[in-house]
Amino acid sequence: MSVNRGEFTREVFGRLQFRIDGSTLAFGVAWAAFEGNDALNNPWSTTEDGFGGWDYNDVGVKNYPTLLDGIAATISTLLDSPYEHLRIVLGRRDSTIREILGALNSSPWGSTVTQTLWRDVVQNYDKYNLVVPGSNQGEVK
């Protein structure tokens, strides 16, 4: 079964007990659109070692053998201390999209998702909500 960017976001955010609604799902899809890679099971381009991963590019972004490995690697990255502010903002029920984007953009992740991109994703969700490459190799349980 293939999983799209929104479903990937729902899985990661759900496991971390972050807010899941239209705004945060669009944020996750916009994040993947900004990254714009074809790394297997890694739409947000984590560079987390382990989880069976191997290099996708020379920056250290990884491919992961299954969707579950990619989700686990992404969660592991987000649980690292440099992402504490991002976790706090995503965990609050009253965070604005401006605060969420600011927390990501000021983190060491290296992504710069703009409000313009986020708005475009909200207006054209299906255009951006693509299948995560490799996600048909492992089901979410």
Q: What is the pLDDT of residues 90-130, one digit of tens each?
A: 999 999 999 999 999 999 998 999 999 999 999 999 999 99
pTM of the model: 0.94
Geometric angle at alpha carbon 12, from 90 and 4, rounded to 5°: 115
- The three-class DSSP label of residue 4 is strand
Label residue 21 by pLDDT band (50, 70, 90): very high
CA gyration radius for the chain?
A: 14
